[in-house]
Amino acid sequence: MKARNLLCITGLVFVLSGGNSLDAQTGVAEVDFSVDAESQRFRYTLRSLRDQELVNDPRLIRLRVRVNGERRYRTCRHPDAPRRVDERRLVTARAGETFSGELDFHMLCWGRATQVLSRGGTIELSYGFRRRARHRYIARHPSDRRAPHRASGAQIVSLDPRADESGEEQDVRVRLRPTSTRRRQPLFRVSVSGNGRAYLRDDLLSFDVRTPSGEVVHCAPYRQAISPIRDFYRRIRRAWRTTVASEFYCPEETFENPGIYRVTPSILLPYDGDQFRIEAITGKYVGEPSIVRIVGP
């Protein structure tokens, strides 16, 4: 039976306090978080405890992650985290009113910190600005002398390791390196490895892109029929690496919107090498999905 990989962080309440007209222990808002590690979605609910203005901005979420087997904590924050309040995110809230939202976990965490989803570990969550300033606050009321600038307190939760669901090893392994960029036409950095020889060219690669909206776009270049050249047969025990520009593979507006794109690489190996008396690998090989993160407005 496959282990269910679901972290549901419930009841993580961060009480925001501030204002000389209120008792110091009186809360002004609560923030609840939940993470579904299987779908890799991060959800939050901001609840007002009084009539006031709230800053409903998921870019102010900060995570402190420790992966199982590591001592080091890694800090995750949104790549476009604001340095001051974005007034477009201000909402007028009644007491008890809630505001919810969600985003992809990879929009907050990047690199080795994302291994917490597969290897398990602990996640600490906070909300707001690190330092107080006039234009840094998360709740505001006319009676406040100093508006609260961050959640006061922290919660640590645990995430169990995922069961290894990797399938049977393929003769050829195709990998796409994760990329985070502001470019709307990102680069694809691909490696191909395996046992034996293969005829390798950039135009034999293709990519299936799942956009943040869930649409799947197939990206492939125009392939012209050719006669194979002996020099293009390579041993791939040591990985063959190449970098290609997505604009030569994908429709122009594929990466137009900021967000998380899941890109699945594949390679077609049609040339068997018989005419050169070379035993070459043939077939189509599909790699695991990788992340392309497009940031910016």
Token digits of residue 107 = 């929009």
Token digits of residue 79 = 């790549």
* SS3 annotation, 199-246: ECCHHHEEEEEECCCCCEEEECCCCCCCCCCHHHEEECCCCEEEEEEH
Report the alpha-carbon distance of residue 13 to residue 85 in Å, rounded. Answer: 22
Kindly tell me if the per-residue pLDDT of 255 is higher than 80: yes
Q: Is 60 exposed, middle or buried (0-12, 13-18, 19+ CB in 10 A)?
A: buried
Report, as an integer, the average pLDDT of 126-133: 88
Kindly tell me if the per-residue pLDDT of 35 is higher than 90: no
Contact (Cβ atoms closer than 8 angstroms) between residue 64 and residue 114: no
Give ranges for CATH 2.60.40 in the chain. Answer: 29-159, 172-294
Q: What is the pLDDT of residue 41?
A: 87
Token digits of residue 248 = 């030569």
Report, as an integer, the average pLDDT of 42-60: 89
The lowest-confidence range among 117-131, 196-210, 283-297 is 117-131
Q: What is the pLDDT of residue 281?
A: 94
CA-CA-CA-CA torsion sign (143, 149, 155, 158): positive
* Most confident of the ranges 41-50, 71-80, 115-124: 71-80
Average pLDDT, the chain: 85
Whole-structure pTM value:
0.84
Report, as an integer, the average pLDDT of 182-188: 96
Distance between first and last Cα of the chain: 43
- The fraction of the chain above a pLDDT of 70, given in percent, is 86
Q: What is the pLDDT of residue 12?
A: 42
Kindly tell me if the per-residue pLDDT of 11 is higher than 50: no
Phi and psi dihedrals of 112, rounded to 5? -70, -20
CATH 2.60.40 fits 172-294, yes or no: yes
> Which of 3.40.50, 1.10.1760, 2.60.40, 1.10.8 would CATH assign to domain 29-159?
2.60.40
pLDDT in tens, 148-158: 888 654 556 67
